[in-house]
Chains A and B, each alone.
Chain A
Amino acid sequence: MGTRSPAALIEHLAGLVLSVDADATGVAELDRGLAELIDSLQGAPSAQLDLSLETRRRLASAQPLDAIKLVSDAVVVLQQQPAPAAAPKRVVRDSETLELVRDFLEESGDGLANADEMLLAIEASAATPDQVNALFRVFHTIKGVAGFLELSEIVSLSHATESVMNEVRDGRCKLAGESLELVFKATALLRGMLDALKKACEAGIELASEPEAQVHIGRLKAFLAKMPREEDAGPPITAPGKPPLVQAAPPPAVVAAPVVQPAPASAVVAVPPVAAPAPPPAGFQALPLAPQPPEVAEGQAPVAATKLRETVKVDLERVDNMVEMIGELIIVESMLKHSRELSTQSLTLRNALGQLGKISRDLQNAAMRMRTVPVHGVFQKMARLTREVGKKAGKDVVLVTAGEGTEMDRAMVERLEDPLVHMVRNACDHGVETPEVRVAAGKPATGVLTLSASHKGGSIIIELSDDGAGLDRDRILKKAVEKGLVQNPAALTDAEVFQLIFAPGFSTAAKVTDISGRGVGMDVVKRNIEGMRGRVLIESTKGKGTTFRLVLPLTLAIIDGMLIKVGKERYLVPSLSIVEALQPTREMLSSMGERDELLSVRGQVIPILRLSQQLAIEGARQDPTTALIVVVESVGKRVGLLVDEVIAQQQVVIKALGQGVGRAEFYSGAAILSDGCIGLILNVDKLCGLITYRHRVASGDAHREEQR
């Protein structure tokens, strides 16, 4: 066989589908064909590869008759997916091109984000000429630079979108309903293509074509064809295909698509748009949180404001370096202040030191702020997501945001996106009821999600509320009892009951929809937030709605830790995971098979982990009654860490342990202590995980461990 191209193998497979018999031999032949195809696609993740793997997996369990149908369906799809995905050609881009692409990605990303924002505003109220012009410019700019970079597909798509905007600008159509939908979709596609471009550049391969883009270009052109044209006398359907697209004419096969496309495209979008332009004023005024007039005024103000604010683009690494150095400065400053030699000296010296302290702290704040970005961007994505998910679920949902200007650590904003997506999806899908149900319950037909951000104390609070059905305490409890998660249902507070939806396995879609319609991916949300050292709180009133409150630390760079000592070594335990520290009495201790020690505190039995043993530390205290036990908690599991002493609680700057020290899985990082030495930060999750494991296999492992 040798090296046949994927395309040839797909052809071969298509032939097989027609020729093989519906029996075991036939299935085996199909399987072989698929295997070859998978081989040839290997190494380049693509939709084709995914589909082939999936098909082969399903083929294994299919009846011969179904098998042929299965493969032939797959072949049809495979044939439609164009070749580039299958064989990514390596492309060498010189550094200058990469620089240009990077700038292009950045600018276009900003532009599209702006466009999204404007489109959402336009959807809520009518478009202003300024907005239309701004949108036009966004696509125009993208087209211009993409043309320069020879990204023909992006050029065609932005060109077609620009043409639609042009029609709007010249007053030949309104930006509402179908046209708005088309432009919306175009921004989504462009964003996807920009992502693909970024990945292609990073991997040094050719940019794959995006089939959906061609289809959408067809739709846009079909839309344009319907526009009245003074200067153009040509037949409406072919006209838009020719004149404007000289620089990047799509392949002829695609030109055929628009002819087929218009009907379904307009059919899809026809339903919501008809209702959209008229009702918004009424719908919006009915909502408590969406005052219509100010929003229109604000819609323009931020645009002007962002134009005025000048920014400098700085390499993130430089900023990080500076933040790191300032962190060091703070440490040295505190070493100076606490040094014995200086404390007895003159008042002037102490004053100067005080000044120094203040300035370095200001400097640290300033540096930290350089790392922060407003949550605005993520919130905007959520607005978009709400719109899409709501539409898919057949619900009328709007997202109202507040406090978008709240700034957070850049890394956290990125990590926040995933959990928010899950939460917004859940809220749209399960939280908010269908319009009919809502009206029957005496609520406005349009559901409102409120996403807000604010600073409170030393934390950042992100809240997502919906005005939907709320969580059903009784049904959650019933399910939890069934699953054996809860013994004494009556004793639980509402908050404790709601926390149950985060239990892993509690959240698989089917089961949870039975209970409350909540919880898909909720354990993911919780894990993500806890990974950022935050917490998730839930409030819910049946019939009124649910509020998820994320409480997050201001930055990921600093951690509040408890410094402990074992033998001669010092370690940091994150304060957030510490439940208590105590010196046990003899009565509190018991053991299991002589090896596994247990601590009883207030009726709870907690396994003890000897840090000295786990980390091979010499010279640690062996008798728990003369040492200390720090009880830590992770994912609901409690473990008592046996340590010599607890030294102090302190805030430290987290540093990556970096490479070169192996897997180092028991540490989540390192920190510079006040004396300049390094303290390792213990990874409580891993340590707790260890105990659970030992716990489970304890019976089988006990004597093996004893033999050692």
Chain B
Amino acid sequence: MDTHANPGAGAAQLESLAGKYMTFRVGGEEYGLEILKVRELIGLLEITRVPHAPQGVKGVVNLRGKVIPVVDLREHLGIDGASASARPVIIVVQLQTPNGPITTGVLVDQVLEVRNIASAQIEPPPSFGRGDEATRFILGIAKNDKRVVLLLDIDLILSSTNLSLAA
């Protein structure tokens, strides 16, 4: 079923991944999020927990009067432990869905930079053959300057937490 992480998907798909990414850190790893989907960054606001919310949804925050859900990437990516970051940030992403745009906060440890990633730098994610939860959210792996950036499939993450993408 996983069309994104198929190693044999060919160059065309990896080609389409090239572009500008916002990179950030969660745990010890560096991730990238397509810049066009990022609307803004906000410092950590107080998150109100929503009892009975799906796994991975940290709660809701007040974004200038709008109530938006905040997703904790640690849960999705299988990263253990609480954030040790002194300056956690919420990346506000806006996704286009058939039901109109939806806005969601994504909680990360630290925002790094905006980077241009060329298609030549991108490789398909390897499969570890254990039906891995975490790797299905990775579109590709980009390397440069000896650093590795994991390109996130944010649409899939958000739809897996029952955001209206799947509805």
Contact = CB atoms under 8 A, between A and B. Distances in A.
Given A655-B66, A672-B62, A676-B62, A660 B104 contact: yes
Interface string A323-356: 0110110010000000000000000000000000
A666 B164 CA distance: 19
Contacts of B61: 678
A273 interface: no
B69 A658 contact: yes
Contacts of B83: none
19 contacts: A331-B65, A616-B51, A656-B67, A657-B67, A658-B102, A659-B102, A659-B163, A660-B102, A661-B69, A662-B50, A662-B57, A662-B162, A667-B50, A670-B48, A672-B67, A676-B62, A677-B46, A677-B62, A678-B61
B53 A659 contact: no
B115 interface: no
Interface residues of B, number: 28
| A: interface residue count bin | 20 to 34
Contact of A661 (B45, B46, B53, B62): B53
Given A655-B67, A656-B67, A676-B62, A617 B51 contact: yes
Contact of B48 (A324, A328, A678): A678
A666 B52 contact: yes
Contacts of B46: 676-677
Interface of B: 45-46, 48-54, 57, 60-62, 64-69, 71, 102, 104, 158, 161-164, 167
Contact of B52 (A569, A664, A672): A664
Contacts of A280: none
Nearest to A617: B51
Contacts of B158: 660
A182 interface: no
A318 to B, nearest CB: 15
Nearest to A656: B67
Nearest to B162: A662
A468 to B, nearest CB: 47
Given A324-B66, A655-B67, A615 B57 contact: no
A661 B48 contact: no
A659 B57 contact: no
A679 interface: yes
A661 B57 contact: yes
B54 A662 contact: yes
Contacts of A382: none
Contacts of B66: 324, 655
A327 B67 CA distance: 13
Contacts of A677: 46, 48, 62
A680 interface: yes
Nearest to B46: A677
The 5 nearest A-B residue pairs measured at CB: A660-B69, A328-B65, A615-B51, A659-B164, A678-B48
Residue of B53, B62, B69, B164 ringed by the most chain A CB atoms within 10 A: B62
A389 to B, nearest CB: 38
